[in-house]
Amino acid sequence: MPAEFSRHERTVICWPARSEIYGKRLGEAQTAHAALANTISGYEPVTVIANPNDVSRARQACAESVEVVGLEIDDAWFRDSGPNYVVENNELIATCWRFNGWGEKFVPFDKDATIASRWAKHVGHKTRMIDMVLEGGSINVDGAGTLITTEQCLLNPNRNPKLSREQISERLCSELGQQQVVWLPFGLALDDDTDGHVDNVAAFIGPKTAIMQGCDDKNEDDHARCRENIAVAKTAGLTVHEIPVLPFVVTDSIRAAVPYLNFYVCNDAVIVPVCG
C-alpha cells in the first residue's frame, strides 16, 4: 500500500450532505470543501463526489479544473468511506472494507457503505471486497511495510468485536501488504466521533518516520496520552517528530481539539488545518 505522502494521480473529495450534522452551517461546510478542492487542483487533478441533487451547486462553487461526479453519498468523509488502494503486480486495486458509520453513530450510512466499490467501478478500478470494518482515517502506512493505528479505535467493540488484536494485525498485513503494525494506545481524548482515529495523532512522512501529536498543556488529558503514544512509537523503532501544540475550540458549547496533524499531502504541497 503506497504512503499518503507518495505522488498520486488525483485527490477525491466528497461534498458535505448531512444536514443534521452541519445544521445551519451546511452551506459554510460546502464552501470550505470547494475552497479545499480548488486549492488542491492547483497541484493535481481533483474529483468531487456529490449527491446527484447537489451536483449543480458543487459545480458552481468549484473551479472549472475540478471534476464533479454525481454518486449517492451520506456525507463528506471519503477518507474513511472510500477505498484503500494497493498495488499488486503493477496493478492498482481498490480494497473496499466494511463501513458502519463509525460504529453506527451516524445513520443512515448505507450509501457511504457502498461508495468505495461504486467509485472504483465508476473509474474502472479492480476491487477487492473485505469483510472487516475499517475506515481509512484509522490507519496510516509508511509505504515501506509499516502501518500505524490506535487501540482506542480498532479494538473498540463497535468495529470488529469478534476479532482479536492479533487477528486484526494479520488481516491488515495480508490485505495491505504490511510487515509491521504499530498499535498506539490512544487517539485524542475528545475524539468521540471516530473513537480515536490515528490521523489525529500520527502521520508518516517517510519510512519508519512519523510526525506525532503532543500536548504541552499538562492540564489536558491528551498530555499524558500523547506522551504514551510517542513512547510506544519509539519503542517500535519509529523516528518521531513531535508537534507539541494542540489547539482547542468551542462551537455550540462543544469543546473539540483541532490538531494541525490532520493535514493532507498532495503533489508538491501540504494542506494544513489552522485554528484561530
How buried is residue 71: exposed, middle or buried, by Cβ count under 10 Å (0-12/13-18/19+)? Answer: middle
- If you ran DSSP here, which 8-state letter would residue 15 be given? P
> Mean pLDDT across the chain, nearest whole number?
97
In the chain, pLDDT over 70 holds for what percent of residues? 100
Is 212 in contact with 199 (CB distance < 8 Å)? no
How does 197-221 read in b/e, with b if 16+ C-beta sit within 10 Å?
A: bbbbbbbbeeebebbbbbbeeeebe
| Residue 86 pLDDT greater than 80, yes or no | yes
d(CA 94, CA 29): 28
Residue 276 above 70 pLDDT?
no
Residue 61 pLDDT greater than 80, yes or no: yes
State the CATH architecture for 138-276.
5-stranded Propeller (3.75)
- Dist CA 168 CA 191 (whole Å): 22
* CB-neighbour burial class of residue 237 (10 A; exposed 0-12, middle 13-18, buried 19+): exposed
Question: Residue 25: is its pLDDT beyond 70?
Answer: yes
pLDDT of residue 7: 96
The sign one gets for the Cα dihedral 28, 34, 36, 39 is negative
| Residue 198, pLDDT score | 99
- pTM of this structure: 0.96
Give tens-digit pLDDT for 209-219: 999 999 999 99
What would the pLDDT profile of 68-79 be if each residue is shown by its tens digit? 999 999 999 999
pLDDT band at 273 (very low <50, low <70, confident <90, very high): confident
- At 150, give phi and psi (nearest 5°): -125, 140
Among 48-57, 195-204, 253-262, where is mean pLDDT lowest?
253-262
So where are the chain's domains? 138-276
Instruction: Report the distance separating Cα 43 and Cα 11, nearest Å.
Output: 10
Contact in structure between 43 and 269 (CB atoms under 8 Å) = yes
Distance CA 263, CA 24 (A): 26
Say what the pLDDT of residue 49 is: 99
pLDDT at position 251, please? 82
